[in-house]
Each structure stands twice: as C-alpha cells, then as structure tokens.
Amino acid sequence: MDDAKKKKCKVRFGPSGLEVEVERGTVLLDAAHKVGLYLSSVCGGDGYCGKCKVIIDDGQFQAKPTGLLTADELRDNMVLACQTKVLSDLTVTVPSGHTLETGRILIDSDAHRFREMKGDPNAKGGVGDPNGEGHGAAFAFDPLVRKVYVEMTPPSVQDHTADHERLYMAIRAQIEAPIMQTGYRILQKLSGILLSARYRATATVGHRGGTTEVIEVDAGDHSRRNFAVAVDLGTTTVVAHLVDLTTGRTLDTEATYNSQLNFGDDYVRRIIYAEENDAFDEMQNRIVKDLNNLILALALRQRVHLQEITTVVCAGNTVMIHFLLNLDTRRIRREPYVASAGFVPPIRAAEIGVQISTRGLLYCLPAVAAYVGSDIVGGVLATGMFAQPGISLLADIGTNGEIVLGNRDWLVCASSSAGPAFEGSGVRHGMRAGAGAIEKFTYRGPGCFEYQTIGDRPPAGICGSGLLDLLAELYGGGVVDRTGRFLEDHDPGLMYGQDGWQYQLVPSDNGRREIALTQADIDNLLRSKAGVFAAIRVLMDATQTRREDLEAVYLAGGFGNFLNVQHAVTIGMLPDVPIEKIHFVGNTSMAGAKMTLLSREALQRAEEIAASMTYFDLMSHHGYMEEFIRARFLPHTDLTLFPSVQDKKKVEV
C-alpha cells in the first residue's frame, strides 16, 4: 500500500470545533460521521440529493464535479461532503441548519396521566385526567419492571418454606403476579443473597407476556432506584427520555441523529444499502450505539447508574425496530411487504448490546404492519382515540404519512408513501425543525410577508410548519392557484431562478444565501399532502365515515412548535372540520412509549390496538390513485369537501 495514502489528516469542523484525524483520501462525509456530526444526506452519499453541503475554509481536497452547486456556492468553496476526499489537514464550516441541535428535536410533554394505583405506595397523586390534553385514556400506574422491597420472616422450624417460594409469596403480597418465572442465574444466587441480607431484599420483577419474571435480586432496599428509558426510534432522530419508575416522572431527555443517516435518509434506501453491502450487523451496531450514547448521557447527567436502569421501551417504525433487533428487513421493501415480527417479545437488553442493568428488559411496542409501525400504535395509545365512542383521525406526518381512523369499536390504518416533503426532504431549502429554520410564515399582501425562525437565528431553511404556512398563505393570498402554479405577475417576491419560478424569502446577500420556495418544491409538497389526504379519504370511504362524524383530528409529527393547524385544512391535507377539533399532539410515539413503561395495562392495550387494527395497503387499493390525483389540487378538486376554505376565499375575494 502507498504510504502517502496512509497519511493522517486532521479535519476541523466549524462552528462546532469538532476535530477528527482520518486517513488521506477519506470521504469528508465519513469524516464528519466519525466525529459524531450528522450531515443531512438523503441519497446516502450517492451525490445526487445535494444536502451535505459544507464549505472548505482551508486545506487540500478533491471534489467530484456536480451540478448541484450554484456558481456562488462554488465560489464560496462549497462542496458536497459525500463527493469530496480529504487530501490534507482541512478546516471546514458546516452551514447552520445542516446539522440539527438535538435539543430542538420534538419531544413530547408529560401529557399522559395515570390513575393512582390502589394501595401503591409509590403512586403520588398521579390521578388520571381522561380529558386532559387530548388523551382519552388513563392507565393504572404499574410499571413493566418494578423493584419490590420485601422483608420476609426468615425460615424457622415452624416454617420450612424454601427461599424461592418464600420470595414469590412476599412479592405476591405486594403485586399481582399469578404466574412467575426465575432464571437459573438468579435461582442459583438467591439463597446466598437472602441469607446475607437477613431476608430483606429487593426483587426486580419484569412482566413478560402473561408472566412475571424475577430478573434480579439484591440485598437490602433499592426500591427507590428504578429507572427506565423510553425511546422514539426515528429514521432521522433517536429521542430518549429518562423516567423515574418510582414516581413516573420524566427526569431528562436527550436526542441524537440516527447514525444510520450516512446510509440514506429514508429507510428503504438503508435496507438496499444493507443488502448490497451485507451491512445488517452494521445497521444494528449503529442504532444500538446511538441508544447507548443517549442512555449514558442521561445517566451521567442525572447521576443514575446504568445498573439502576431496568427497562427500555422502544417505539418506532417497523424498519427501525427491525434494524435494532437485526431482524430481516429485506421483504419490507418488496412485495408483499412483510415484517419479520410485528409483536416483538420482550428481550434482555444485553442480548442486543444495550447497556442497562445486566438482566434488564427491552420492550418494543407492537406494530400493525411493515408500514404502520409501533410508533403509530403508540400514537393511538397516547391520543386515547381507541377508547372514545366518537370517531377520531390521527395523521402522523414524518418520513411517511401514517393515518389511523376509528374509535373504541374499530380502527383502520394506512400508510401514505408520498414522501417526506414536510420533513424538508425534496424541498430545495427544506430542513427539519432545527435552529434557523423558518417555522412560521405570514403573507400580508404583494411584496409583504413576515417569518420567524427557530431560536431567532439567521434563516437557514424552512421546516415543516413553515412549509405548511407558505403553501397555505401563498394560496390564500392568490400567489399560487388551485393547481399549485405560481401566478407569475401577482407578487414581486416571485422571480425566475435557476430552477424556474420561485418565491424568494431571503435574497442572497453577503455571507447569506438565498432561501426560496420553488415550483418543484410546491409540487413535492402537494404530492405529500395529497398522499395523506387520499389515505384519509380511502379510510373514511371504507368505513363510511363522514366529515361531520369526526370528533377529533390529531396531527402528530416533528413540524416545530408553532404549527398552524388550520393551514393543514387550508391546503387540503386534513379534512375540513372545525378548528377546535384539530389538535397538534407532537411526538406521540414517545408519549406512547412512556405510557407503556409506566403501565402494564397500557402495553396490553397497545397489543390489543395493534391486533385489532385493520391495515389498508394503499398500493394495492383500487381507489387510492384516483383519490391521490384529486387531492393534488389546493385544497382539492371537489371543493364541497372544503367549505370553510371556500368561504374564506370568498370573504377575501
């Protein structure tokens, strides 16, 4: 091997200041990943999405030619990180908005509530609020894994009960556990611990299926130190909450990019990558490492020992759960689109390398199908729609758009694969809800508008809620017509750029790059919203649900904090129901995971939900494509479906 190739180069990434040493010839995207910097990469490093732009401030590099950079960008020494090799020490600037500050990743509030469990000493006023914050169900406080402190009378001539049975009796005096199990290693050490502790010990018991397993026994009372981590395993981000299982309180939250991002922004691309490169182990290793990093960060900050974390509950789309467990994902992307497991039994976290208590348990919420994952089941659980007499609609807009419709008697669901435009993908200046993202936009009239960025930072792009605002306000203001075309002479903000007509929000200036919404962006957004609405129509038609039957519409996803839900109606993404019926519910996947780790009943309910939900495969549904085409208008070809939008337009006109 050539010695020159083996030369080490130092790469410094600004503004974070992160540094990494790599071999000469390393691809810059890989160098960034190595230091924990996750650059957006839709195409998985193939060089055609143009998302991984960085500026080379200093040093030698070799960049492949690309048509994805403007002349201005090339003059600024901007490159695509995935197409650039490191040839010497480098100083690189990552434009703001191209990485995400994890603190901005949408996390759910502790909106869910639990009934006070009768006679439970740990439950402190966790009274249920069935109508609170849009969540229609309350569950008994009864964590999946509990620490039960038991003081047993030691054996005597009058009472020969064996240690193992004595422990069971003591546990059963405190919790309901008709069927119990104990692993061999615990059985073997049990007597030694009980003897040394004078029969005062803490049993850690976990619920597995219909049984209660004694997963650990320790001398003395450790019942106040029992923690769990709830995980929302997203395609783009992984969010973790540390929960105190004795109080039910969330202590801290942490989030990171899914480090599989280097292999593609969407999961189908990652499956292809894993298949082509035999990289399923690598996929698992990465997501497990992400999880461990989150858990470690939470534990260190809250001074919790990893051994005190007894539970991990994961919710996520079916592919992410499969990657986590290294289950077969190959048929998820091929007809007939089948998962390896929808109902994943609890496993020992250590079996996949997740570092919590040695014998701690890892649970996954159940999934409905390959494209309706446990994150959606978590959403149904968290919204409480499964328990309501009236019909509710849940739309979770992320990489895909999953729709659930139903009530306490029935639930139907579907997944719209119309693309993640509202997550910023396929939109030229789209980005996720990170610092500098334009999250709010108001149109005041020709040449006059206002916007707001996350963190009041200089604008870096447009996130989901901003895109929704733009589309709705520009349509309302007459800047785009019902087909989504710019009416070119209507507003001075409209100008002809490299990609044709665009609406300019931020002009290019010294040190500031242009931000605009292009015609192609609008087409992508319309496809996304049309996919969502067509799915809703298919489900409503199939169940003969009328618009006026909808008691509540829940919009979930990572849009940002200032979501104008009315705009989701205006553009024809959600059905036209009174505004007070529409609720933005944020990260319901996380909310569902947290409800579950705090309540055995919630897990049972989640399993019932997943088992009873009817899945509609839209790809093989005869009416879907027609609905999709009709929904690509603003708001729709059939205006009678959107009377309020019509009225508004009339008033304005």
Name the residues that contact its own copies, by CB under 8 A.
155-157, 159-165, 178-184, 187-188, 190-192, 195, 208-211, 325-328, 331, 335-345, 347-348, 351-352, 367, 369-370, 615, 617, 620
Structure tokens at 392: 């509710």
Residues contacting residue 560 through CB under 8 Å, at least 6 positions apart: 106, 433, 437, 439, 440, 454, 463, 464, 465, 466
**Which residue, 271 or 516, has its beta carbon nearer to its own copies?**
271
Instruction: Judge residue 310's burial from the number of C-beta atoms within 10 Å of its C-beta, 0-12 exposed, 13-18 middle, 19 or more buried.
Output: buried
Report whether the peptide linkage leading into residue 643 is cis, meaning its omega lies within 30 degrees of zero.
Answer: no
**Which residue, 180 or 306, has its beta carbon nearer to its own copies?**
180
Question: In terms of C-beta distances under 8 Å and separation of at least 24 residues, what long-range contacts does 59-66 make, across chains too?
Answer: 59/9, 59/86, 59/87, 59/88, 59/89, 59/90, 59/91, 60/87, 60/88, 60/90, 61/28, 61/85, 61/86, 61/87, 61/88, 61/90, 62/87
Cα–Cα distance, 250 to 235 (Å, whole number)? 23
CB of 166 to its own copies, least distance (A): 9
CB of 128 to its own copies, least distance (A): 28
Would you say 62 and 90 are in contact if contact means Cβ atoms under 8 Å apart? no
CB of 522 to its own copies, least distance (A): 33
Which residue type does 316 have? G
Nearest to 539 by CA among 396, 393, 417: 393
C-alpha triplet 624, 625, 629: angle, nearest 5° = 120
Instruction: Judge residue 89's burial from the number of C-beta atoms within 10 Å of its C-beta, 0-12 exposed, 13-18 middle, 19 or more buried.
Output: middle
CB of 615 to its own copies, least distance (A): 6
Cα–Cα distance, 362 to 463 (Å, whole number)? 33
Strands lying side by side in the sheet with 309-316 = 250-257, 237-244, 227-233, 309-316, 361-364, 347-348
**Which residue, 367 or 474, has its beta carbon nearer to its own copies?**
367
> What backbone torsions phi and psi does residue 497 show, to the nearest 5 degrees?
-110, -165
Q: What residues are paired with 252 via a beta bridge?
A: 242
Which residue type does 243 have? V
**Which residue, 111 or 148, has its beta carbon nearer to its own copies?**
148
Residues contacting residue 47 through CB under 8 Å, at least 6 positions apart: 64, 66, 68, 80, 82, 83
CB of 653 to its own copies, least distance (A): 46
CB of 214 to its own copies, least distance (A): 9
| Residue 156 DSSP code | B
CB of 619 to its own copies, least distance (A): 8
**Which residue, 67 or 336, has its beta carbon nearer to its own copies?**
336
C-alpha triplet 136, 142, 146: angle, nearest 5° = 150
User: What would the DSSP string read from start to end of 531-600?
Assistant: HHHHHHHHHHHHTT--GGGEEEEEEEES--S---HHHHHHTTSS----GGGEEEEE-HHHHHHHHHHHBH
Cα–Cα distance, 638 to 205 (Å, whole number)? 57
CB of 603 to its own copies, least distance (A): 14
Would you say 101 and 583 are in contact if contact means Cβ atoms under 8 Å apart? no
Cα–Cα distance, 42 to 490 (Å, whole number)? 34
**Which residue, 2 or 335, has its beta carbon nearer to its own copies?**
335
CB of 345 to its own copies, least distance (A): 5
Report whether the peptide linkage leading into residue 635 is cis, meaning its omega lies within 30 degrees of zero.
Answer: yes
CB of 293 to its own copies, least distance (A): 22
In which element (H, E) is residue 287 found? helix 280-302
CB of 145 to its own copies, least distance (A): 16
CB of 158 to its own copies, least distance (A): 8
CB of 326 to its own copies, least distance (A): 6
Nearest to 503 by CA among 482, 478, 483, 527: 478
CB of 508 to its own copies, least distance (A): 49
**Which residue, 176 or 335, has its beta carbon nearer to its own copies?**
335
**Which residue, 348 or 636, has its beta carbon nearer to its own copies?**
348
**Which residue, 530 or 610, has its beta carbon nearer to its own copies?**
610
CB of 341 to its own copies, least distance (A): 4
Cα dist from 341 to 215, 365, 585, 617, whole Å:
24, 11, 28, 18
Q: How remote is the C-alpha of 592 from its chain's centroid?
A: 12
Which residue type does 555 have? L
